[in-house]
Structure 1
Amino acid sequence: MSDTKDVLLFGALALIWGTAYTAIEIGLETLPPLLFAAARLDIAAAVFVGIVLLRRLEWRPRTKADLALVLSNGLLVIGAHFAFSFVGQSYVSSSVAAIVLSFTPIITPLIAIHLLPTERIVITDVVGLGAGLAGVIAIAVAGGTFDGQLLGIGLLLASAVVFALGSVLTERWTPVLPTMSLHAWSMGIGAVFLHATAYAYSGASIRSVTWTPSAVAALAYLGIVATAGGFLLYFALLSRTGATNVSLINYASPVVATIFGATLLGEQITAATVAGFALIVVGFALCNIRPLWRLTQSTRNASGGSRPLEHGEIRVRGNVYTATNDSQTHLQPSD
C-alpha cells in the first residue's frame, strides 16, 4: 500500500470484516450456518443488482474471462469460502475463527507459485508454512475436541484455502464486464450455491427458521455492510495492490474481531490463542520476505509513486516480478 488512499481503504476493510465475525457469532445463536450465509449473500446480490440496474450497466458476460471471473468469485471466493467459514465458526469463538483465517496470506503466495508466473519455493516458504501450521495447531489443541473445536478449525482452514485459491485466480483474467456487474453475478452465484448446499445438508429454508431481532440485525449488517461494502473494498484493493498485499487484511481483522468479541460477547483470550496468532504472523513474514521488503521500500518512497520497472521485470496486479535465466523461465519477486 503505497499511498494514503490504499491505507484508508485497508483500515475501513479491517474494521468491517473484523466486526463481521461478531455479527456472525450473534446470528449463529439462532440461524443454521449455511442458510445464514446464503441469506447474507441474497441481500448483497440484491444491492449489487440494484446498482447495476440504476446505472444501466452492461450485465451480460461477454468474454470467457468474464465467465471465468464470475464463476471463480461466486463458487470459491464467496460460495465455498462462506460455506466452510460459517459452519466452522459455529464450533469456535469469533476471535479464534478470525485468527485461523489469518492463515490465508501464507497459503496465497504458495498457490500463486503454481498458478501465476512467480518464484519457485525456497526454504523460507517451507519454514514459514511450518510456523503457520504450528500456530493453527496451538490454537486447535487448546481445549479442543475432535467433534468440536478441532472440526471447526479444520473447516476454517478449508475456507482459507478456497479463498486464497479464488483470490489468485482472479489475477489470471481481465474482464470486459463492469465491476458492479461482476459483483452482482458473483454474489448471485454464491447465494444459489449456498442455498442449494443448505437444503442438501439439512433441508433448511428461509421459512423453517425463527427470526429474532438480533439475528435480523446481524444479517442486515453482514449483507449490506460486510458483504456488499466489504467486497467492493476488497476487490478495489486487490486490483490496486495485488493478492499478496491485500491478504494482509487477515492480520488486522483478527485484532478487531478479538476486541469486539471480548467486549460484546465476553469471549476469553487465551495465551495459546495469542501464541498461535504470533506463529502465524511469523509464518507469513517468512513466506513473504521479499514482498514485505518491497512494501517497506514503497512506504519510504510513497511520495514518488511506483518505481519504474527495470530490465527483465514485469508488474502483475501491483506485484513486481523478475525473470531468471534458467533453461526454463521462472519469475520471482525482485528485491
Structure 2
Amino acid sequence: MSRRDALLAALVAVIWGVNFVVIDLGMGDVPPLLFVAARFAAVVLIAIWFVPCPRVGWVKVAGVGAFMALGQFGLLYASMAAGMPAGLASLVLQAQVVLTILIAAGVLRERPTPAQLIGVVLGSGGLAIVGAGRGGHVPLAALALCLAAALSWAVGNVIARAAKAPGGLAMTVWSALVVPVPAFALSLLIDGPDAVARGIAAFGWEAALSTAYTVLAATLVGYGIYNGLLARNPASSVAPWILLVPVVGMLSAWLVLGETPNAAELGGGALLVAGVVVASVRAGRRGSERVQDHLPANADAALTSR
C-alpha cells in the first residue's frame, strides 16, 4: 500500500469512528431499519445522477450493497437499538478485520504475509483486552447482532475486492440501490406499521443531521475511498487500518456521550494502533507489488490520474 493510500485509510477510520456517535445521537425513536432505509435512500437521491454506473457485473454490485450496506448497517443499527453502546459497537464491529483476511485467503487466495498476521494478532489482542474490560454488561442479543454485522461487512469486503471496480465511489452509490426498499419492508415486518409511522413522525433535526453526516461523510466520502482502496490493494492490506475505528469511536463516545474509557480500553486501543502499524506499514510495499501483478494493462494510467 502506498503512503497516499495509507493516509486515505487513516482518514476513513476517523470518519467512521465518529459515525458511531452520530448514529447514536440521531436514531432516537426512529426504528433502526427505517433509519438505514432513510440513509441509503438519501445516498441514491443525492448522488446517482452524477456518478456513472461501475463497469462491473450487476451481481457484484448487488452483492456489495446486500452485505456491505444492508447487512452491515441493518444489523449494526439493530444492535445499537438493542443496547450496544456506541463506543463498544465501534470495537466489536472490527471483528470484520480477522474475518476479511480469513475469507479473502479462502476465496481470493490472498495469503497474508507474516507481518500482516502479526499485526492482526496484535490488533485482535487489543480488541480482546478492551472487550474483557467492559463487555459483560452488554445484552447478548446486541452483541450477537454486532458480530453478525461484522461478518456481513467482511463478506462485502471480499466481494468488492473481487469486483475490482475502477471507481470506489461508483460502487458505493450504485450498490446503495439495493438497500432502501428491503430495509423499509423489513422495518414494516419487524417493527410494524404503527412503529414505522411513529418513527417517521419522530424524524426531527437530530435525525436529519445524523443522516446528513452518514450520507455525505461516512457513505459517499468514507466508502468511496474505502472501495477504491480495495480495488487497488489486497483486502488483507486495507482491512487492518480499520482497526483504528474503535480508537476514534471510543474517544468520541467518551467526549460526546460520557462513555468514559477504563484502563483496559486505553491499553487495548494502544495495542490496536501497534497492530495497524505492523500489518500495514511493513507489508505495504509487498502488497502494492502483488496488486500491480494483477492489474490490467491500462491500470497504471488510471491510478496515476486519480
TM-score (norm 2): 0.79
Asked if 1:263 is matched to 2:255, the reply is: yes
1:217 matched to 2:206: no
Match of 1:208 among 198, 204, 210: 198
Structure-1 residue corresponding to 2:139: 149
Write the distance in 2 (CA, Å) between the matches of 1:159 and 1:10: 20
1:93 Cα deviation after fit: 1.6
Identity over aligned residues, as a percent? Answer: 26
CA contact (8 A) 1:99 1:277 kept: no
Counterpart amino acid of residue 50 in structure 2: I
| Distance 1:154-1:272 versus aligned 2 partners, 3 A rule | farther
Distance 1:186 1:6, change over 3 A: same
Residue 272 and residue 289 in structure 1: after superposition, are their counterparts in 2 closer, same or farther (change >3 A)?
A: closer
2:301 aligns with: none
135-144 or 10-19, which deviates more: 135-144
User: Which protein is richer in helix relative to its size?
Assistant: 2
Residues of 2 paired with 1:10 and 1:281: CA distance? 13
Distance 1:245 1:294 in 2: 7
What displacement does 1:271 show? 3.4
1:197 aligned onto 2:186? yes
**Deviations along 1:160-214, whole A, 9 cap, x unmatched?**
11111111122223558x7555333211112222222222211257643212322
Aligned to 1:237, which of 223, 226, 229? Answer: 229
For 1:106, the equivalent position in structure 2 comes to 98
2:67 corresponding residue in structure 1: 76
Q: 1:206 to 1:143 in 2, by over 3 A?
A: closer
Look up the equivalent residue of 2:72 and give its one-letter code. H
Structure-1 separation of matches of 2:244 and 2:58: 32
Q: Which amino acid aligns with 1:258?
A: M
CA contact (8 A) 1:22 1:261 kept: yes
Per the alignment, residue 299 of structure 2 pairs with none
The alpha-carbon deviation at position 277 of structure 1 amounts to: 5.3
AA matched with 1:2: S
CA root-mean-square deviation: 3.6
Paired residue type of 1:50: W
Measure the CA separation in 2 of the matches of 1:134 and 1:77: 24
- Residue 252 of structure 1 corresponds to 244
1:41-91: per-residue Cα shift (whole Å, max 9, x none)? 111122221313xxxx4x4x88xx411221111100111011111111231
Change (3 A) 1:219 1:13: same
Residue aligning to 1:320? none
Residue 33 to residue 134, structure 1, CA distance change in 2 (3 Å)? same
Is the 1:95–1:257 contact (alpha carbons within 8 Å) kept by the matching residues of 2? yes
Does the CA-based 8 Å contact 2:254-2:261 persist in structure 1? yes
What CA distance in whole angstroms lies between the structure 2 residues aligned with 1:134 and 1:260?
18
Larger Rg: 1
CA distance in 2: counterparts of 1:133 and 1:194, whole angstroms: 34
Matches for 1:31-180 after TM superposition, within 5 Å: 31-52=30-51, 57=52, 59=53, 65-90=56-81, 91-119=83-111, 132=124, 135-136=127-128, 139=131, 142=134, 144-145=136-137, 148-174=138-164, 180=169
Mapped partners of 1:236, 1:43: distance in 2:
21
Going from structure 1 to structure 2, the CA distance change for 1:180 and 1:15 (only over 3 Å counts) comes to closer
- Give the aligned residue type for 2:60: L
Whole-Å separation in 1 of the counterparts to 2:271 and 2:171: 36
Q: 1:180 to 1:51 in 2, by over 3 A?
A: farther
Q: Return the TM-score normalized by structure 1.
A: 0.73
Question: Judging changes above 3 Å, is the alpha-carbon distance between structure 1 residues 16 and 291 closer, same or farther for their aligned structure 2 residues?
Answer: closer
Tell me how far 1:150 sits from its aligned partner. Answer: 2.9
Q: CA deviation at 1:241?
A: 2.4
Which consecutive residues of structure 2, in runs of 5 or more, have no partner in the other structure? 296-306
